[in-house]
Amino acid sequence: MTLRRHDERPNVVVILSDDQGPWAMRCAGNGELETPNLDRLAATGMRFDRFFCTSPVCSPARASLLTGRIPSCHGIHDWLAAGNTIAKYEPARNGEFIDFLAGQPAYTDALAEAGYACGLSGKWHLGDCHRPRDGFVFWDAHAKGGGPYYRAPMVRHGEVYEEPNYVTDVITMNALRFLEQRKSHSQPFYLSVHYTSPHSPWDRENHPKMLFDQYHDGCPFTATPDLMPAPDWVKHRSIPVDDAGSRRQKLSGYYAAITAMDTNIGKIIDWLEENNMRKNTLVVFTSDNGMCMGHHGLWGKGNASFPLNMFEESVRVPFLASHPGVIQGGVVNTDLLSQYDFSSTLLEYVGISTPSDPRSPGRSFCQLLKGGHRDPHEHLVVFDEYGPVRMVRTIEWKYVHRYPYGPNELYHLTNDPAETENRVNDAATRPVLKEMRERLYEWFAIYSDPDRAGATEPVTGRGQTGLCGRRAGGEDVFIPF
């Protein structure tokens, strides 16, 4: 490992939201949402308009962000319904703690080895929330993957307590406590601020009344589709919404959660500015996965439907990177980029050179952040997966393959950006279909671990309770539909 000089390394704050669609920011075109601080980051940095999660559900996507590996390599294929905390909050497997990423490299390992003080405030949801991952000197975690915004189960010093205050505010207060602790140190810091916002629940009781009422009573909600039907192939919707009242309530809670989070993000940016650290701190904002809020007649992410879906609203995520004086402000990038690219990008950005991981498809886009260009052949294709559902997407086409029986999908995104016309059985597209299938098969053959691959796993979107594949010892760890 080679390093940039200690006093030249920037601090890093990575802010991660939960279930935020790429459309859910004012700076991305949603004029109904109040997000002045996300807009502030976009104005002082770069907004990536085609940034993709590696899997449209939280735990697999978070593992890929951290490791640069795809789910079929790290082995997390669904949200983790067990292994995170004690039985009172997670009765599956009687509250057994499981380290789902044991032995898997993470960029935080490299940061810690290079002298960074690493901290986490908020959601982990990669197993065992009670013990800090190696290299972390600060760990105030959410005990699960979601839950109520008031009386949320939180972990401090290895013990669970129920936090009476609004959890978004608490995650911010804990993050600021870490920053205060680092203020007197010359050592660079890395901080993960992982909100549960805007994940459900979205009812009035779970969010600040003033914000909920502001949206509920005054927002026309024209930025999202209004009660459109789901595609014919959808056999089940995880959140059925079929009336105007339910739609308005859910959107009100979703929007209120985002605006409350945005206010808290502003507190973090303000602290950095007030303590003269903003110019030496890279701030990244993104989400674990995208979100349909009525798009395609669905409410949720990849598991909003069964069979699982790969719609753009599910697989694309917001991504903002701001570092005044280094990253040019107000720039919008349209390259196809993925969460599996993030680990290598961050390490290059802070000046840490590590051996390439042959199991990672990730390629650094650090040069884009600093005003340069990538090799044009490196940003033409992006891949995604959710258990037995896999996707390959180019600038022009998207192909979705569902093992073992389909239905498969092929969309000409240039002419059909809303993904309304499935051309998989169109004779005119057979050459494209053949090429896209070959790309999909070859890519996953290179980057999958046969012992952890998702193509043959019975993933339903209802959760994962243990280690998958051969590591599971024959145990079925995916909750059946």
- In tens, the pLDDT along 427-436 reads 999 999 999 9
User: What is the predicted pLDDT for the residue at 8?
Assistant: 77
Over pLDDT 70: what percentage of the chain? 97
Asked if the model's pLDDT at residue 374 lies above 80, the reply is no
User: What is the predicted pLDDT for the residue at 379?
Assistant: 64
Domain spans of the chain, in order of start: 9-381
Asked if the model's pLDDT at residue 89 lies above 60, the reply is yes
Average pLDDT, the chain: 95
Asked if the model's pLDDT at residue 308 lies above 50, the reply is yes
pLDDT tens, residue by residue, 234-256: 999 999 999 999 999 999 999 99
Please name the fold of domain 9-381.
Answer: Alkaline Phosphatase, subunit A (3.40.720)
Tell me the whole-structure pTM to 2 decimals: 0.97
pLDDT (mean) for 358-377 = 87
User: What is the predicted pLDDT for the residue at 77?
Assistant: 98
Asked if the model's pLDDT at residue 281 lies above 60, the reply is yes
pLDDT (mean) for 23-38 = 98
User: What is the predicted pLDDT for the residue at 313?
Assistant: 98
Asked if the model's pLDDT at residue 472 lies above 80, the reply is no
pLDDT class for 465, splitting at 50, 70, 90?
Answer: very high
User: What is the predicted pLDDT for the residue at 469?
Assistant: 82
User: For the CA atoms of 295, 301, 306, 308, what is the dihedral angle to 10 degrees?
Assistant: 110
pLDDT tens, residue by residue, 50-72: 999 999 999 999 999 999 999 99
Asked if the model's pLDDT at residue 445 lies above 50, the reply is yes
pLDDT class for 268, splitting at 50, 70, 90?
Answer: very high
